[in-house]
Chains A and B, each alone.
Chain A
Amino acid sequence: MFNGLEYLGEAYLSFLNPTSLMYGMGGALMGILVGCMPGLSATLCIALLTTLTIKLPTNDAILILICSYVGTLYGGSRSAILLNIPGTAANAASCADGYALARRGEAGRAIGIATSGAFCGTLFGVLCLAAFTASLAEVALSFGAFEFFWLALFGVTMSGSLVGSDPLKGWLMGALGLFVAQIGQEGLYAYDRFTFGIHELSGGIALIPALVGAFGFAEVLTVLADPVERKLVELKDSTLPRFREVAQYWRTVLRSGAIGVMTGLLPGVGEDSGAWMSYAAAKATTREPEKFGKGSIDGLMAAETGDMSSIPGHIIPALALGIPGSAPSAVLLAAMILHGVQPGPMLMVTHPQFVYHVVAMTTLATISILIFGLFMVRPLLYVLRIRRTVLMPIIFLLTTVGAFATQSRLFDVYSMLAIGIGAFFLRRKGYPMAPFVLGLVLGSLLDKSLRRGLVLSDGSLLPFFTRPICAVLATITIFTMLMYVPLFNRTVKRVVGGALGSLRRLLPVRRA
């Protein structure tokens, strides 16, 4: 307990120097600029900055990445409010109410609410990050191959189920990501799988080129293939954060913060789920549900608080279990590994202070977005006026550099091009990319855990289902998938409906 506070104090002090502050603010600013531009995701921003910061000391590099992560999601609300296009998927829930406010001439007010919601949400998440990461890592120390097998599978399944509108396509992309992760030398015997004699494939498909291909190059193709330019709503009123409205909607802020963190804890769920669930909860509890979608302050506050609080929520399982909560946190996790920090249950043993450094970094990111929200709203909006025909070729240059920089291989540039073109067509057919990324990141863990588990159990599948945590994860994973089978779905609904009906009959009837 006191060790933790000591580490936390040291972590905050270690970032109180001009260099760290400059890196943190710079990362947040870069994130906000990327977030402002529709289509450019947090995943792409972190992947590109990972290559840019690869020669920096670990703490400085991770500080820039975390600040850019927070900045991107915050910046995404700008285009949601002013263009009715979410800057990132996580800001989609802010579109309806934010844009409605902007159309009424209250764009500044909407941005102010988004800023205050984002600040409070991230701060709430940071408190949870500080409080729960160490405890979760301690619990995870008892996890074995069986639990990690299910955690990896659970993450990919949940991502497939919740990202996009068709779970079947999500699971197919998850399975594809897991398969692509199997290409190259496997982890136990260094045997080449699916390399077809191409020696560059022995190292596997590297994560960063795959990500910048799927999220960067595919987006460049998508945006430039569409010739329509969107019109920006003019900003006329004050954009200062509205903390009076935070006080007024404190219940919404607390509820959305908690929902955001809880969804963040679930592997593979993504930031947009936090926003949508918070939005739905706010709509269910408000006295004015008819205002939702038509410029509701409550709705905008809930969506922004929910998506921002899920960021620290996603970092918790990434640090404590080594299982990322979303696609951006998967890149963050990969960046930590590149810098020699292996997230997972042993993190609190090998680098106990690192978790507290991450808490301090996320706090700095939170303060940075508040500062930019207070003083830099209007200048930052100029980025939305850059023509796409100018911006996107430059983004493609960055994706090429990003693909090349981590391993200095031209093969990675070719992989990026191939994956980008493939992702472009898959996205047009409604296949989401986030489960693919989760599969790519978790494929190696799933493979090793399955084979190690089978060795430990001497080929028996029983421990995969009978150990307590395995049983819970297996039940949720299998149940989620079975719910897609119409017969099972109807049966469950009938049983649940019957049980609820019986329960109602047992309760005393209220008479008028």
Chain B
Amino acid sequence: MTDSATPPHASPAAPYEEPSSAPAHGADVAQPPRTDFIAAVLWIAFGIAVAIASWRMDRLTNQDINPYTIPGLLPGFLGLALILFGGLMLIRSWRAGALTATGRGRPNRMTASELRRFAIITALCVVFGVGLVGHGLPFWAAASLYVATTIATLQYPQRKAAGQVARGIVVAIVIGLCAGWAITLVFQDIFLVRLP
């Protein structure tokens, strides 16, 4: 328990070591102290907001309820817990050199290519989830359009390099239509689940 409760990078005495390469999933990577410091400030601010909102929450005195059952009780404690944990992270990152020149480290930032792909995917997903779905367009059509566009967009660089852009678009449309049809069939027609 001791070992798991105090990971090597968490020790105030342990110097910060830059990760040799950022793994794909980003989890379990020691963050530079500056990153944790900024995050800690945000956690504390969030905790203070929660605590204040809980304190100011209606105590339902007009309903003559038991004062130990006021709705803001647990949220208030959670706000305090967030402040406490955020404070511990702040102290830890400060002691690890967050405010020194080396504390900035090399943050686990996305590369330009990753950032571009992330922006494209997020935009496509949000347009589908917010704009296409549930606004009159049949689900199978919205789903086909989304899948075909996403596949064609993401595979475009490879298809272009191989001189197969037109083929790539046709394949993407076929996969999109199949996915839209199959999901509609399985969910709506076989398992009677309502689709957006």
Contact = CB atoms under 8 A, between A and B. Distances in A.
A161 B31 contact: no
A227 interface: yes
- Classify the secondary structure of B's interface with A: helix
Given A164-B27, A429-B108, A451 B74 contact: yes
B164 interface: no
Given A172-B85, A221-B122, A410 B133 contact: yes
Contacts of A458: 68
A277 to B, nearest CB: 11
B118 A225 contact: yes
Nearest to B109: A428
Nearest to A49: B191
Nearest to B92: A168
Interface residues of A, number: 79
B195 A404 contact: yes
A193 B133 CA distance: 29
Given A389-B151, A413-B133, A451 B68 contact: yes
B6 interface: yes
Given A166-B7, A405-B194, A416-B129, A221 B121 contact: yes
B102 interface: no
Interface string B161-196: 000000000000001000110010011000111111
B68 A459 contact: yes
A169 B36 CA distance: 10
Nearest to A192: B71
B61 to A, nearest CB: 12
Contact of B193 (A182, A220, A401): A401
A166 B28 CA distance: 8
A179 B134 contact: no
Contacts of B26: 222, 427-430
Contact of A400 (B11, B115, B196): B196
A432 B26 CA distance: 10
A166 B86 CA distance: 13
- Classify the secondary structure of A's interface with B: helix
Contact of A450 (B53, B74, B133): B74
B117 interface: yes
B31 A483 contact: no
Interface string B11-35: 1100000000000111111110001
B137 to A, nearest CB: 13
B196 A413 contact: yes
B78 interface: yes
B59 to A, nearest CB: 10
Contacts of A400: 128-129, 133, 196
Interface in A217-233: 217, 220-228
A224 B71 contact: no
A56 B191 CA distance: 8
B113 to A, nearest CB: 6
B82 interface: yes
Given A172-B43, A179-B75, A429-B31, A55 B108 contact: no
B2 A489 contact: yes
B122 A175 contact: no
Q: Which 4 pairs show the lowest CB-CB distances between chains A and B?
A: A428-B26, A454-B68, A393-B150, A225-B118
13 contacts: A52-B187, A172-B86, A193-B72, A193-B75, A221-B125, A393-B146, A396-B128, A397-B179, A400-B133, A404-B194, A410-B133, A480-B1, A484-B88
Interface of A: 39, 51-56, 161-162, 164-169, 171-172, 175-176, 178-179, 182, 186, 188-189, 191, 193-194, 217, 220-228, 387, 389-390, 393-394, 396-398, 400-401, 404-405, 408, 410, 413-414, 416-417, 421, 427-432, 446-447, 450-452, 454-455, 458-459, 480, 483-484, 486, 489, 492-493
Given A182-B78, A228-B24, A484-B5, 16 more contacts: A55-B192, A164-B27, A164-B28, A165-B28, A165-B30, A166-B10, A168-B92, A179-B78, A189-B71, A225-B121, A393-B179, A394-B147, A400-B133, A405-B187, A429-B108, A455-B66
Interface of B: 1-2, 4-7, 9-12, 24-31, 35, 39, 43, 50, 53, 57-58, 60, 63, 65-69, 71-75, 77-79, 81-82, 85-86, 88-89, 92, 108, 110, 113-115, 117-118, 121-122, 125-126, 128-130, 133-134, 143, 146-147, 150-151, 154-155, 175, 179-180, 183, 186-187, 191-196
